[in-house]
Amino acid sequence: MTMISTRESYGRTLVELGRENKDIVVLDADLAKSTMTRYFAQEFPERFFDCGIAEQNMMGIAAGLAASGKTVFASTFSVFASCRCFDQLRVSIAQPHLNVKIVATHGGITVGEDGASHHAVEDLALVASLPGFTIIVPADAQEAAQAVRVAANTYGPFYIRCSRPASPAIYGSDYRFTLGKAVTLRSGHEATIVALGLMVAPALEAAKGLAEVGIDCRVLSMPTLKPLDEGAIGAAATETGAIVVAEEHFEHGGLGSAVARVVGQTHPVPLAFVAIKDTYAKSGKPDELLKKHGLTAGDIAQQVRQVVGRKNWVQY
């Protein structure tokens, strides 16, 4: 199987969009060779601005370009796009609701060896707190390409988190990404695994293993973190009675928190969270880090058994 990273897919898609729409402008902060905006830079040098190692200024320039009618893509690593630029995202982009598409690569801990300073584990929580931002975390290259295209054609601020490692295809060629909609990748009635980004593949693997021992799991891919597909989550709670959320992010403020907010208000069921606990990861190979921090298919399967076991704890 061909392995393609979501950032590679982003870079290629950006070139196609650049050919179709002359109002697309791309900014980077001295990471074009890593975020893959370099492809756009090569073909459209006049519409590409490398802002140097000054991410806050880049976000401000993006806002000014957007306020002048441009569709702006601004890229850097996820840690810098969110943590370093939070006030610029808030005041220059979110409050005026400008048409800036932040495509942040190197999300999560699969950045690997660069270590804690480069592990984006708070970005989804930060950006999700900003009104009006649409947040997408694609699960594979095809979904990334479609999400980037949807962002280009939908007015408003977007945060798209891409990943560093090449990853396997999740979807077939007939897949169509729909903004704000969950994707049921596997049906099931005993529990639901909700996952996004690189955690979708281990979620499917976990469900497959559980099926072999007679636990029938639904798998929901949740590419759009915000606005959240509350209907799909409500249905999962009602129909399967237990939910495990898997994400490459801190357990505070990401997909797990969002799912808990919906479930707690609509149809309370046992929940479990496969996420990074309240500590920073260290240097290591991506697979080693995922294992160390409990983000593997085995960890997800274990949490499914645990929530299924809790299904009858609470009597109403």
Partner 1 sequence: MSRDKILNFSVDEMELVAKTLRRHIVKMIANAGSGHPGGSLSAVELVTALYFRFLRHDPANPHWSDRDRFVLSKGHAAPLLYAILAERGYFPVSELSTLRRLASRLQGHTDMTMIPGVEMSAGSLGQGLSFGLGMALAGRLDDRGYRVYVLLGDGECDEGQVWEAAMAAAHFKANNLTAIVDHNEQQLDGWNRDIMNLEPLPDKWRAFGWQVTEVDGHDLAQIMGALEAVQGIIGQPTVIIAHTVKGKGVSFMENNLEFHGRAPNSGELAKALAELA
Of the pair 65, 290, the CB lying nearest partner 1 is at 65
**Residue of 12, 16, 57, 292 that binds partner 1 (CB under 8 A):** 57
**Residue of 15, 17, 61, 242 that binds partner 1 (CB under 8 A):** 61
Catalytic site residue 55? Answer: yes
**Residue of 3, 21, 42, 52 that binds partner 1 (CB under 8 A):** 52
190-213 core/surface letters (b: 16 or more CB in 10 A; e: else): bbbbbbbbbbbbbbbbbbebbeee
Of the pair 157, 286, the CB lying nearest partner 1 is at 157
Of the pair 46, 174, the CB lying nearest partner 1 is at 46
Residue 89 DSSP symbol: I
- Helix 255-266 and helix 230-240: axis angle, to 10°? 60
Q: Does 51 bind partner 1 (CB under 8 A)?
A: yes
Q: Does 70 bind partner 1 (CB under 8 A)?
A: yes
Q: Does 45 bind partner 1 (CB under 8 A)?
A: no
Report the distance separating Cα 283 and Cα 109, nearest Å: 9
**Location of structure tokens 């929580």:** 125
Quick one: which segment of 7-15, 90-98, 202-210, 270-278 binds partner 1 (CB under 8 A)? 90-98
CB atoms within 10 A of CB 268: 12
- Backbone phi, then psi, for 164, in 5-degree steps? -75, -50
Q: Does 87 bind partner 1 (CB under 8 A)?
A: yes
Q: Spell out the residues 6+ positions from residue 197 whose beta carbon is closer than 8 angstroms to its own.
A: 107, 108, 137, 138, 139, 161, 163, 247, 248
Q: Does 126 bind partner 1 (CB under 8 A)?
A: no
Binding-site size, partner 1 (CB under 8 A): 31
Diameter of the chain by CA atoms? 64
Q: Does 131 bind partner 1 (CB under 8 A)?
A: no
- Tally the C-alpha atoms within 13 A of residue 115's C-alpha that lie toward its C-beta: 2
Residue 27 DSSP symbol: E
Between the alpha carbon of residue 110 and those of residues 30, 90, 163, 285, the distances in Å are 21, 27, 7, 8
Q: Does 84 bind partner 1 (CB under 8 A)?
A: no
Between the alpha carbon of residue 52 and those of residues 29, 30, 57, 83, the distances in Å are 5, 5, 9, 18
Of the pair 56, 184, the CB lying nearest partner 1 is at 56
Of the pair 47, 208, the CB lying nearest partner 1 is at 47
Quick one: which segment of 30-38, 52-60, 263-271, 274-282 binds partner 1 (CB under 8 A)? 52-60
Quick one: which segment of 86-94, 174-182, 194-202, 213-221 binds partner 1 (CB under 8 A)? 86-94
Report the distance separating Cα 228 and Cα 222, nearest Å: 8
**Exactly one of 55, 143, 190, 247 is catalytic; which is it?**
55
**Residue of 12, 16, 30, 64 that binds partner 1 (CB under 8 A):** 64
Angle made by CA atoms 219, 144, 99, in degrees to the nearest 5: 120
Minimum separation from the CB atom of position 92 to partner 1 (A)? 5
**Residue of 49, 80, 159, 273 that binds partner 1 (CB under 8 A):** 49
Q: Does 67 bind partner 1 (CB under 8 A)?
A: yes
Q: Which residues are catalytic?
A: 55
Kindly list the residues in this chain that would bind partner 1 in the complex (CB under 8 A).
25, 46-47, 49, 51-52, 54, 56-70, 72, 87-88, 90-92, 95-97
